A and B are shown apart, each in its own frame.
Chain A
């Protein structure tokens, strides 16, 4: 346990050398590399901070831009909605007008169809009536009725207006017409003469008169002179009645 001065001094020297070695090869380089790493980390942190600030700035700028875009979008959407509403109202009005026109057209068509149906029904009724009357008069007619109709014809010819008479005779100037008288029953001689005399006096012509029988006339006569024809019989009257009634509509 004694103190060895040589060892003591050498240990002092050794430890001083150790301090130098460690300071030179351990502390300085290790602390330097740690400081460099810290500086790098600080630099990276600063750069990251700057980038973060820049990113925040960009984010703020883009958010502002987005808000502007959003505002513009809202304005444009509002304008578009207004335009759409106006167009919708216009189209609706146009459609309503078209519908009204179509409705009126359909109403007119329906009315026309109803009118045509009514007319057809009436026509049919008149035809039925005429047919019924024809059947009835076929059964009920006879020489008496024909005589009365013949007299009525003579009276009608006597009472023709001048205008009608001129119209009838204007087509016969060039040639003498042949008169054909068709009757349902044979006409008595006195009536034939009276009829011929009335006919020639009325028309102021001289024509050859021929007679013919046609039972389908039921009663009465049919007088044909050239293109002109006088129907004074039941059948033609009934047909004329039906056609006249239809034409009167």
Chain B
């Protein structure tokens, strides 16, 4: 049962690199998303089709959500946050397909995403505010709080990774246990819950990432607003 639930064995190895089921599913997601987006990009028209309207609605919804939190830098951070949402929704919902495991039930994948959020937070902060100004916010309001800032950076990244991993892994485990105990059709309500949980966790992860990035961008601006 441990092998079925939490352990992700490699499917094959390329030298030192072990390719797990998580990576293969992620590649599948990459391929499908890439092909879909490429086809879509070739069929964009000023008078949109229903599919184009839906896609434009998704993109505008992401942009609006990002603009609501970071209105001045929405176009810069929107690709990263939008990609997180899109990937997490697809990855979380992959668990519903029989025989396919959600990549986000793998701690390695969620940790990789959390690390990217951690890095992008500093990347956008330094890029937009400058290195000196960005690092100053670790010393405000008092240099004494610097250790707490550093601990906060690490713990929230770990929390980000573990929260997503724990929720998605537990959902799949619960569905597996119900399937083993109750029979073939019994896990359907659990799968319905899986859909909701997948969307909610994707939203939470993306929104937290957005808040972290926006916080790093706007920490200095909020304290010292630009003179008009």
Q: Which residues of A contact B (CB under 8 A)?
A: 1-12, 14-19, 21-23, 25-27, 29-31, 33-34, 36-37, 40
Please measure, in the bound complex, the distance between the C-alpha atom of A205 and the C-alpha atom of B145, giving whole angstroms: 188
Jot down 8 A-B pairs with beta carbons below 8 A, ordered by A.
A2-B107, A5-B108, A7-B23, A8-B108, A11-B108, A25-B40, A29-B44, A30-B44
Residues of A within 8 A of B8 (CB): 4, 7
Please measure, in the bound complex, the distance between the C-alpha atom of A21 and the C-alpha atom of B33, giving whole angstroms: 8
A-B interface contact total, Cβ < 8 Å = 120
Q: Would you call A18 and B111 a contact (CB within 8 A)?
A: no
Please measure, in the bound complex, the distance between the C-alpha atom of A189 and the C-alpha atom of B41, giving whole angstroms: 169
Q: Would you call A8 and B44 a contact (CB within 8 A)?
A: no
Q: How far is the CB of B100 from chain A (nearest CB, A)?
A: 16
Given A19-B80, A31-B63: A7 touches B46 (CB 8 Å cut-off): no
Q: Would you call A10 and B19 a contact (CB within 8 A)?
A: yes
Residues of B within 8 A of A37 (CB): 46
Please measure, in the bound complex, the distance between the C-alpha atom of A231 and the C-alpha atom of B29, giving whole angstroms: 163
Please measure, in the bound complex, the distance between the C-alpha atom of A3 and the C-alpha atom of B34, giving whole angstroms: 28
Residues of A within 8 A of B26 (CB): 10-11, 14
Please measure, in the bound complex, the distance between the C-alpha atom of A4 and the C-alpha atom of B170, giving whole angstroms: 19
Q: Interface readout for B1-44 with A: 1 if CB under 8 Å, 0 if not?
A: 00000111010000011111011001101100110011011001
Q: How far is the CB of A191 from chain B (nearest CB, A)?
A: 150
Q: Would you call A34 and B30 a contact (CB within 8 A)?
A: no
Q: Is the interface of A mostly helix, strand, loop or mixed?
A: helix
Q: Which residues of B contact A (CB under 8 A)?
A: 6-8, 10, 16-20, 22-23, 26-27, 29-30, 33-34, 37-38, 40-41, 44-46, 48, 55-56, 59-60, 63, 75, 78-80, 82-83, 86-87, 103, 106-109, 111-113, 115-116
Residues of A within 8 A of B37 (CB): 21-22, 25-26
Q: Which 7 A-B pairs have the closest CB atoms?
A: A25-B37, A11-B112, A7-B108, A29-B41, A6-B18, A23-B79, A8-B108
Residues of A within 8 A of B46 (CB): 33, 36-37, 40
Q: 8 new A-B pairs (CB below 8 Å) besides A9-B112, A26-B41?
A: A1-B7, A7-B23, A10-B19, A18-B33, A22-B86, A23-B79, A30-B41, A30-B56
Looking across the interface, which residue of chain B has its beta carbon closest to that of A4? Answer: B108
Looking across the interface, which residue of chain A has its beta carbon closest to that of B109? Answer: A11
Residues of B within 8 A of A30 (CB): 40-41, 44, 55-56, 59
Q: Would you call A33 and B44 a contact (CB within 8 A)?
A: yes
Residues of B within 8 A of A31 (CB): 59, 63, 75
Residues of A within 8 A of B106 (CB): 4, 7
Residues of B within 8 A of A18 (CB): 29-30, 33, 83, 87
Q: Would you call A11 and B33 a contact (CB within 8 A)?
A: no
Residues of B within 8 A of A26 (CB): 37, 40-41, 55, 59
Residues of B within 8 A of A12 (CB): 112, 115-116
Residue from B16, B20, B116 in contact with A15 in the complex, judged by beta carbons closer than 8 Å: B116
Q: Would you call A10 and B79 a contact (CB within 8 A)?
A: no
Please measure, in the bound complex, the distance between the C-alpha atom of A9 and the C-alpha atom of B55, giving whole angstroms: 30
